[in-house]
Amino acid sequence: GQNIDQPTEMTATEGAIVQINCTYQTSGFNGLFWYQQHAGEAPTFLSYNVLDGLEEKGRFSSFLSRSKGYSYLLLKELQMKDSASYLCADNNAGNMLTFGGGTRLMVKP
Amino acid sequence: GAVVSQHPSRVICKSGTSVKIECRSLDFQATTMFWYRQFPKQSLMLMATSNEGSKATYEQGVEKDKFLINHASLTLSTLTVTSAHPEDSSFYICSARDFFLAGADTQYFGPGTRLTVL
């Protein structure tokens, strides 16, 4: 089975750094995705980790520890437009995504 | 690259009618497309996996006779909600994988279709 947990909501200040955690329990793990979703829109791809470690892409970085079933998305230099839901999803052995409930991030001035 | 379109973006229909939603991969071929449903303030729930040239695979609890999926070509999958009822009102999103792209695990999402059944 698959169980993905992430915080429901987070608040941070413009210009700050925020870390969104995700834990998963899955059979046949085949990678961990992070997507950003603005209200009323479809998700957009942010990152994909299949090996342990940190992947950096500009202001966004994603970390994976397979032994701990743990990932986080790190957002630096927060901007107001970063207010969105962030979805953690694991890719199982069948190459299907299972999404967590999403973390609604609110960036305040 | 990797653009997925959906049509229509919004649809309002009467209870009992059928609605067809199209999902197209615009600049790549997708042997596999996925259909998700998202209710307000909830995450995406996979409904079915659509495979080109074969029958779709439905997730548990999703009625295959109610949600008809056709994947007739490498760039088009359709979802038909038959005899729609108000409880079917939701945000329907498709995604596609680029078969020919190395490391093709990434799914690219369409913009979604908001269905409202009156």
Structure confidence by residue, pLDDT tens digits, A22-73: 999 877 777 899 999 998 888 888 998 989 999 998 999 999 999 999 999 9
The pLDDT of residue B100: 63
The pLDDT of residue B69: 94
Under an 8 A CB cutoff, do A101 and B43 touch?
yes
The pLDDT of residue B104: 55
With an 8 Å Cβ cutoff, is B87 touching chain A?
no
* Number of C-beta neighbours around residue B111 at 10 A: 15
pLDDT for B102 beyond 50: no
- Classified as helix, coil or strand, A40 is coil
Cα–Cα dist B91/B79, whole Å: 13
Q: Which residue of B has its CA nearest to A46?
A: B106
With an 8 Å Cβ cutoff, is B62 touching chain A?
no
- Classified as helix, coil or strand, A76 is coil
The pLDDT of residue B32: 85
The pLDDT of residue B105: 66
pLDDT for A101 beyond 80: yes
pLDDT for B116 beyond 90: yes
Across the interface, of A40, A48, A96, the residue whose CB is closest to B106 is A48
Under an 8 A CB cutoff, do B34 and A96 touch?
yes
Where are the extended beta strands (E) located within chain B? 4-7, 10-13, 19-25, 32-38, 45-51, 57-58, 67-73, 76-81, 90-97, 107-109, 113-117
What is the Cα Rg of chain A in Å?
13
Mind listing the pLDDT tens digit for each residue in B1-60?
Answer: 678 999 999 999 999 999 999 999 998 888 789 999 998 878 889 999 988 888 899 999
Sign for the CA dihedral angle at B55, B63, B36, A90 comes to negative
pLDDT for B106 beyond 80: no
Of A89, A76, A108, A99, which Cα lies nearest the Cα of A10? A108
CA angle A33, A38, A41 (to 5 degrees): 95
Q: Say whether the peptide bond before residue B40 is cis (omega within 30 degrees of 0).
A: no
Q: Which of A2-6, A26-30, A87-91 has the lowest mean pLDDT?
A: A26-30
CA distances from A29 to B21, B43, B44, B63 (A): 31, 20, 19, 27
Per-chain mean pLDDT for chain A: 91
Of residues B27 and B86, more confidence is placed in: B86
Chain A interface mutation, best of B38, B39, B43, highest count of A Cβ atoms under 10 Å: B43
The pLDDT of residue A1: 45
Q: Which residues of A12-38 are buried (b: 16+ CB within 10 A; e: fewer)?
A: beeeeebebebbbebeebebbbbbbbe
With an 8 Å Cβ cutoff, is B60 touching chain A?
no
The pLDDT of residue B79: 96
Eight-state DSSP code of residue A44: E
